[in-house]
């Protein structure tokens, strides 16, 4: 509904305009009746309207003066229409310079009023689209500027513009908002993940209210459409008397309420000044690599997870380096021996949680380096989430010796797979499995077990090879087989759905529409009639 204000010093004119047409059925709602321009101004200083119809001649403040004040003081971007008589025509013309949309002659005729309202509705719709487009362009430019700051390549004018647009002063943090990587894998299609991301973004913007412009696609992994980032600005976002812990916990809760997958926040180091945002960003990147070894939580803070006391740094470098060599060689006996030696050191008196974290982090850095040595195309930021979902799903003994042993065995196998360049042979077999058994309950996890390959890594190389997830590829193949059966047989659609692997007819129809744009029945009719 577009909000309308009528301004005229003659009560019978106001009453007549109210009953002349059915305003609501035309998409308009009269929110204010004003007897002069001064009364209208007072309303506009506190409220917003979309359309103003004002008499050109009124006591106290006339229509032209009202229009001039509204525009000069930038009180409203409402469309303005002058009500005038024939004798006032020359005055009405002067209103054009103050961005008056149109004028309408008294006595107002129903047809003329309806025509004017339709014109106003079109203008308003176009204005909204134009504003949305400009806002999107502005946000895209702002994102590019933020990325340049994060990479340490920003110009001073970029920093200044970010600070101006986002009111970025005082304490700031880079906050990564993600979904639990364990559950992502191939349980959700790309379409479903996009939907979840939309829910996540909307929930976050709703929570931040007027600071919603600080929500962006994730800069850590901008190729991952299911994740996002928030530039936390303490001065703008933190309510008086509230702690940052309260703020981030409530933010996570608000997002989680509308998203099916577990949501977590990675809160980067607190810094001051936009130019230092890159440092906060880098700490959030570190957090992302290490959360697999932390107790599963809703919010992770850099200060809690990664910092250690400078005067208490103890790095078991020799033991760690020997363990890394054993992992590189995939020597399980040596891995067990060196892991035992490492934990003997970690269990010494005086070794606190911070020191243990530091040693684990050093190990993870070395393992990431090993993977990159084997395959430069591997996404470094995704390596830690492509290990062993079975280990992570158990959620037990994180960082403990038994957990670490399982992990390093799996990671050694992962490195071996990279060395063997398994993508060609294994993917060929997966293709064959889909062609021969597409109607069966095929899952990435089961196929990975069959061919002795890590399911997460299989999902990674599959998407890299085919440009889509295993689930979406399988769905597309099933639908292509359904197409053939629809054209070349007279089988019922429910039977065809079963034959290609869909036991729910409604789901089959929805998938068919999503991929082909029409229902199976309409597709069959068009194919057989040539239409």
pLDDT digits (tens, 9 = 90+) for 108-126: 889 989 999 998 888 887 7
The most confident of the ranges 29-38, 196-205, 366-375 is: 29-38
Q: What is the pLDDT of residues 286-303, one digit of tens each?
A: 777 556 545 567 898 887
Asked if pLDDT for residue 75 goes beyond 80, the answer is yes
pLDDT at 382: 54
Answer whether 0.75 is exceeded by the pTM. Answer: no
Q: Does 331 share its domain with 275? A: no
| 221 has a pLDDT exceeding 60 | no
Mean pLDDT in residue range 137-163: 76
pLDDT of residue 310: 43
Whole-angstrom distance, CA of residue 60 vs CA of residue 53: 17
| Mean per-residue pLDDT, 27-38 | 93
- Same domain membership, residue 118 and residue 248: no
Average of per-residue pLDDT across 1-28: 92
Q: Do 356 and 298 share a structural domain?
A: no
**221-244 average pLDDT score:** 78
List the one residue out of 477, 482, 383 whose CA is nearest residue 430. 477
pLDDT at 291: 60
Residue 512 has pLDDT above 50, yes or no: yes
The pLDDT, as a whole number, for residue 356 is: 73
Q: Are residues 416 and 427 located together in one domain of the fold?
A: no
Q: Are residues 263 and 142 in contact, defined by beta-carbon separation less than 8 angstroms?
A: no
CATH number at residue 455: 1.10.10.60
pLDDT at 29 over 80: yes
User: Of 407, 413, 370, 373, nearest to 390 (Cα)?
Assistant: 407
User: For 84-107, what is each residue's pLDDT tens digit?
Assistant: 875 555 665 666 667 788 888 888
Q: Which domain holds residue 431?
A: 423-529
CATH, residue 32: 3.40.50.2300
- Same domain flag for 390 and 463: no
Residue 268: C-alpha distances to residues 174, 223, 247, 271, 364 (Å): 5, 20, 14, 9, 19
Same domain, 156 and 301: yes
Is residue 386's pLDDT more than 60?
A: no
Give the pLDDT mean for 258-285: 85
In a domain, 145, yes or no: no
Residues 260 and 371 in one domain: no
**381: pLDDT confidence band, cut at 50, 70 and 90?**
low
Examine residue 141 and state whether it is found in any structural domain, yes or no: no
Q: Give yes or no: residues 372 and 288 share one domain.
A: no
Q: Which whole number is the average pLDDT over 272-283?
A: 84
Same domain? 109 vs 155? no
Output the CA–CA distances (angstroms, integers) from residue 182 to 58, 197, 201, 412, 471, in the order listed: 69, 16, 21, 19, 16
Does residue 183 surpass a pLDDT of 60?
Answer: no
Domain end among 76, 92, 127: 127
Is 146 within the bounds of a domain? no
User: How many degrees, rounded to 5, is the angle at CA 66 between CA 78 and CA 134?
Assistant: 25
What mean pLDDT, rounded, does the chain reach? 80
Greater confidence (303 vs 388) lies with 303
pLDDT value for 311 = 45
Q: pLDDT confidence of 370, banded at 50, 70, 90?
A: confident
Q: Which of 61-70, 391-400, 440-449 has the lowest mean pLDDT?
A: 391-400
Give domain status of residue 132, yes or no: no
Q: For residue 502, is it within any domain?
A: yes
* pLDDT band of 392, cuts 50, 70, 90: very low
CA angle 226/231/233 to nearest 5° reads 150
Q: Which of 248, 274, 305 is the last residue of a domain?
A: 305
Percent of the chain with pLDDT over 90: 27
Phi, psi for 53 (deg, rounded to 5): -110, 115
* Of 383, 401, 420, the domain-final residue: 420
Alpha-carbon distance of 228 to 223, in angstroms, equals: 11
Question: What is the average pLDDT across 169-185?
Answer: 76
User: Between these two residues, 159 and 226, which has the higher pLDDT value?
Assistant: 159
How many angstroms separate the CA atoms of 528 and 531, rounded?
Answer: 8
pLDDT of residue 477 exceeding 90, the answer is yes
pLDDT of residue 308: 43
Q: Check pLDDT > 50 for residue 267.
A: yes
Question: Among 39-53, 117-131, 347-361, 434-448, which is the least confidently predicted range?
Answer: 347-361
Lowest mean pLDDT among 148-152, 184-188, 319-323: 184-188
> What digits encode the pLDDT tens for the residues 417-459?
766 654 556 788 888 899 999 999 998 888 888 877 767 777 8
Q: Is the same domain home to 224 and 364?
A: no
Q: Would 484 be classed as within a structural domain?
A: yes
DSSP 8-state symbol, 384: G
**pLDDT band at residue 379 using 50, 70 and 90 as cut-offs:** low
Number of domains in the chain: 4
One domain for residues 182 and 267? yes
Is residue 143, in this structure, part of any structural domain at all? Answer: no
Q: Are residues 428 and 390 in the same domain?
A: no
212: domain CATH number? 3.30.70.270
What is residue 84's predicted lDDT score, i.e. its pLDDT? 81
Please report whether residue 62 resides in a domain.
Answer: yes
For residues 242-261, give the mean pLDDT.
91
Q: What contacts 168, CB < 8 A, 6 or more positions away?
A: 162, 231, 233, 274
* pLDDT at residue 232 is higher than 80: yes
Task: Examine the pLDDT at 478 and tell me if it is beyond 90.
Answer: yes
DSSP string covering 36-74: SHHHHHHHHTT---SEEEEESS-SSS-HHHHHHHHHHTT
What was the pLDDT predicted at 391? 40
């Amino acid at each position: 509904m577009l909000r309308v204000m009528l301004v005229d010093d003659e009560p019978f004119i106001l009453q007549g305009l109210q009953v002349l047409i059915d305003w609501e059925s035309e998409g308009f709602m009269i929110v204010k009746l004003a007897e002069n321009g001064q009364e209208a101004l007072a309303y506009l200083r506190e409220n917003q309207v979309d359309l103003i119809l004002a008499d050109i001649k009124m006591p106290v403040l006339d229509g032209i003066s009202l229009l001039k004040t509204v525009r000069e003081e930038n009180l409203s971007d409402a469309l303005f229409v002058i009500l005038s008589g024939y004798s006032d025509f020359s005055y009405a013309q002067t209103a054009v310079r103050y961005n008056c949309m149109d004028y309408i002659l008294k006595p107002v005729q129903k047809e003329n009023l309806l025509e004017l309202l339709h014109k106003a509705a079109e203008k308003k719709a176009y204005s909204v689209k134009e504003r949305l487009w400009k806002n999107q362009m502005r946000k895209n430019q702002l994102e590019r500027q933020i990325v340049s700051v994060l990479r340490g390549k920003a110009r001073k004018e970029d920093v200044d513009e970010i600070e101006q647009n986002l009111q970025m002063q005082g304490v700031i943090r880079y906050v990564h908002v993600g979904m639990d990587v364990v559950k992502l894998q191939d349980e959700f299609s790309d379409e479903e993940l996009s939907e979840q991301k939309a829910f996540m973004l909307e929930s976050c913007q709703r929570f931040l209210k007027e600071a919603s412009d600080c929500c962006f696609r994730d800069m850590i992994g901008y190729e991952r459409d299911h994740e996002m980032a928030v530039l936390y600005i303490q001065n703008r976002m933190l309510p008086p008397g509230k702690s940052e812990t309260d703020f981030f916990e409530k933010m996570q809760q608000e997002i989680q309420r509308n998203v099916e997958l577990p949501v977590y926040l990675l809160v980067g180091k607190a810094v001051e000044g936009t130019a230092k945002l890159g440092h906060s960003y880098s700490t959030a990147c570190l957090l992302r690599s290490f959360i697999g070894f932390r107790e599963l939580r809703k919010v992770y803070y850099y200060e809690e997870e990664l910092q250690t006391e400078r005067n208490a740094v103890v790095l078991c470098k020799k033991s760690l380096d020997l363990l890394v060599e054993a992992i590189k060689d995939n020597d399980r006996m040596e891995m067990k021996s060196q892991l035992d030696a490492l934990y003997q050191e970690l269990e010494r008196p005086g070794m606190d949680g911070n020191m243990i974290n530091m040693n684990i982090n050093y190990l993870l850095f070395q393992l990431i380096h090993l993977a990159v040595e084997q395959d430069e195309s591997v996404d470094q930021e995704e390596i830690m989430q492509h290990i062993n979902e079975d280990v992570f799903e158990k959620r037990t003994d994180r960082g403990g010796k038994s957990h670490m042993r399982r992990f390093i065995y799996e990671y050694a196998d992962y490195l071996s797979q990279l060395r063997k360049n398994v993508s060609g042979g294994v993917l060929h077999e997966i293709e064959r499995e889909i062609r021969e058994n597409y109607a069966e309950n095929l899952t990435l996890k089961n196929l990975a077990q069959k061919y002795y390959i890590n399911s997460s890594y299989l999902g990674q190389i599959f998407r890299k090879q085919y440009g889509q997830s295993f689930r979406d590829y399988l769905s597309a193949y099933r639908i292509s087989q359904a197409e053939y059966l629809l054209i070349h047989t007279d089988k019922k659609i429910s039977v065809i759905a079963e034959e290609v692997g869909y036991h729910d007819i409604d789901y089959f129809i929805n998938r068919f529409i999503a991929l082909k744009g029409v229902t199976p029945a309409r597709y069959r009719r068009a194919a057989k009639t040539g239409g």
